[in-house]
Every structure is written in C-alpha cells, then in structure tokens.
C-alpha cells in the first residue's frame, strides 16, 4: 500500500493544478481557520470535509489525474472508497452529513467528468448554504435553533444496460423538506438518458399524467391514510396548487424491470407525511408514444 500511495503522490505532483483548484483550497483553509473558535469536533469535521472536497476536485478536474490513478494497481478500489466517504459537521444544534457520489470507470470520460463535477458542485452549494444559515441564526441570536442537512445517494438500478442514481437532499429547520434528483445512464452506449428522449413527441406528458392521476385516485379510494393534491380531493389546496400534469423533464428513473418510474419531491403533490411519492407507469399506458422498447420494457 505504501508503494501505491507513493506512486499516487508522484503522479499527482506531476500534473498542473488548475487555478480554480487553488482558489477552492485557499477558501477551504480560510473557512477552517475561521471556525477554530468553534468546538473542536466541528472544526475537525470541516477540515476533513475540505480535504475530501479538494481530493475530489483534483481527480475530477483533470482526466490526466483520473487516468493516472486508474492505471495504478489497487488504486481503483481506493478511489471508490474515498469518493464514497461522507463528511460531517456535528454540534449541539447544527449537524451536516453530506456524501458526495462519484462515477468511475466509464469509457465516456467527458460524461463521467461532467456528472462528477455536478455532484461535487451540488454538495459544495449545500454546505455553503448550511454555513450561511448557521451564521444568520447566530447574528439573530437564535443560538438554540436547530439546523441540519443530510445529503447522499442511492443506486436505484444497476444492470447490464442501465445505471440509475438518485441523489437526495434532506434539510431540517423549523420543518423538513426532501428533494430527490436522478441520473439514468445507458451503460452500453455511454450516454445520459432524459425523459423526452424516450418518446416520439410531447404526447407522453398527457399519457403519463393521466395514468398517475388514475393511480392517485385508486390509492386514495383504497387507503384513507393516503391523500394527494388533486382536484376534488381536498378543500385546503387551491386549484393552482393541485396536480394535473408532470413537467416535461419530470424526475424519473428506470427500474430493474425496465419500467418507467416517476418521482415527486416532498410536498410537490401530497402532504409531507406522504414522503416522496413514486409511480410505476405501466408500459401499455405509454407504448404508443415510446421511441422503442430498448429501455422501457
């Protein structure tokens, strides 16, 4: 292992460091130094967070670094472990747990780099927002307020054809909100699959929406504990707030059975108690507008 790390160090030092990386490193150091007055546990967490973020930036900002690391025996496993590490901030009232996903071993390095940079940017933005909220609470003298953020990912589908990754973002303050975003990748053709590209035209929006509305109505009919914000279901939601149609780029993934799954964020179409509603769309309901059955079975 020592030989591998030494090789990794030499390869890393031989690669030019992008200017933006220097800025991020300096910013991370300043943030860590600025928080030395806080509890040691919190400072330690932020220092580790900065170190992990810098390492990820170095790998994802340069294909030379990525290729060099991948070529070293045993490093592939190490990179996966490092990129799957979580970094935490834990204090009496403030807590953050952010996991940064990273995709490795794709032949399409441009797509891999783009996705990994996006994941890193999302995590950085969440962390910055978390810090800003803490500072604002302190300025207002609300030292007893509780703020938390939990961000991570889960692999929904991983087979010979499809890789679907969901990233979740849970923020807690006075109340909690959860957002889920998905990337679905064609592993054989090395490309990102979008919802519109599955269909011949925009007719799918109505087909999918009508099926979801029917599922919502059926679920509410059979279970008094379920409620969706659709016309006629409740009197405390305005007509403008009721669900009638998915968005053109609605959040989705393709499950292991080759079925299209539409996902809504918390509070998007139902009360918070309903969590993140998912609807499996029967292929028969959308067959007429599918481009093919290559992805959707």
What gap in Å lies between CA 201 and CA 214, rounded to an integer? Answer: 22
CATH class, domain 2-193, is: alpha beta
- Both tokens assigned to 249: 């780029």
The residue among 3, 128, 144 whose CA lies nearest residue 75 is: 3
pLDDT of residue 27: 46
Q: Where are the domains of the chain?
A: 2-193, 196-289
Q: Which residues pair with 86 in a beta bridge?
A: 99
Q: Please list the pLDDT of the chain residue by residue as tens digits (297 residues).
A: 434 444 434 443 444 434 443 444 344 434 434 443 333 333 344 444 444 444 544 444 444 445 545 555 554 433 232 344 566 788 888 899 998 888 888 888 898 888 888 888 888 888 888 888 888 888 888 878 888 899 998 889 988 899 999 999 988 775 677 889 999 999 889 899 999 999 999 999 999 999 999 999 999 999 999 999 998 877 777 777 899 999 999 999 999 999 999 999 999 999 999 999 999 999 999 999 999 999 999
Task: With beta carbons less than 8 A apart as the criterion, state whether 148 and 171 touch.
Answer: yes
Task: With beta carbons less than 8 A apart as the criterion, state whether 95 and 28 touch.
Answer: no
In the block, residue with structure tokens 């009721």: 242
- Both tokens assigned to 213: 């509305």
Task: With beta carbons less than 8 A apart as the criterion, state whether 96 and 148 touch.
Answer: yes
The residue among 119, 112, 22, 25 whose CA lies nearest residue 67 is: 112
What gap in Å lies between CA 65 and CA 57, rounded to an integer? Answer: 10
pLDDT of residue 142: 81
- Model pTM? 0.72
What gap in Å lies between CA 88 and CA 45, rounded to an integer? Answer: 5
Instruction: Tell the CATH topology of 196-289.
Output: Actin; Chain A, domain 4 (3.90.640)
């Amino acid at each position: 292992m020592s030989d591998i790390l030494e090789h990794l160090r030499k390869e890393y030092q031989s690669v030019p460091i992008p200017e933006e990386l220097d800025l991020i490193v300096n910013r991370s150091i300043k943030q860590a130094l600025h928080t030395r007055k806080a509890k040691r546990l919190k400072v330690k967490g932020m220092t580790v967070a900065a170190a992990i973020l810098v390492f990820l930036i170095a790998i994802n900002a340069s294909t030379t670094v990525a290729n060099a690391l991948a070529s070293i025996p045993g490093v592939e496993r190490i990179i996966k472990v490092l990129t799957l590490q979580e970094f935490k901030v834990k204090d009496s009232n403030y807590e953050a747990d952010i996991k940064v996903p990273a995709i490795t071993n794709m032949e399409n390095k441009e797509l891999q780099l783009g996705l990994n940079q996006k994941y890193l940017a999302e995590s950085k933005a969440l962390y910055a927002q978390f810090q800003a909220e803490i500072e604002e609470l302190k300025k207002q003298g609300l030292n007893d307020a509780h703020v938390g953020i939990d961000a991570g990912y889960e692999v929904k589908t991983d087979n010979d054809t499809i890789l679907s990754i969901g990233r979740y973002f849970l923020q807690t303050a006075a109340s909690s909100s959860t957002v889920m975003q998905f990337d679905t990748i064609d592993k054989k053709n090395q490309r990102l699959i979008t919802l519109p590209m599955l269909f011949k035209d925009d007719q799918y929006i109505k087909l999918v929406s009508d099926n979801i509305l029917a599922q919502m109505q059926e679920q509410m009919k059979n279970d008094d504990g379920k409620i969706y914000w659709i016309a006629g279901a409740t009197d405390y939601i305005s007509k403008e707030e009721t669900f009638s149609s998915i968005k053109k780029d609605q959040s989705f993934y393709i499950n292991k059975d080759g079925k299209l799954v539409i996902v809504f964020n918390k509070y998007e179409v139902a009360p918070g108690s309903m969590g993140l509603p998912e609807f499996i769309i029967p292929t028969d309901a959308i067959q007429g507008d599918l481009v093919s059955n290559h992805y959707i079975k």
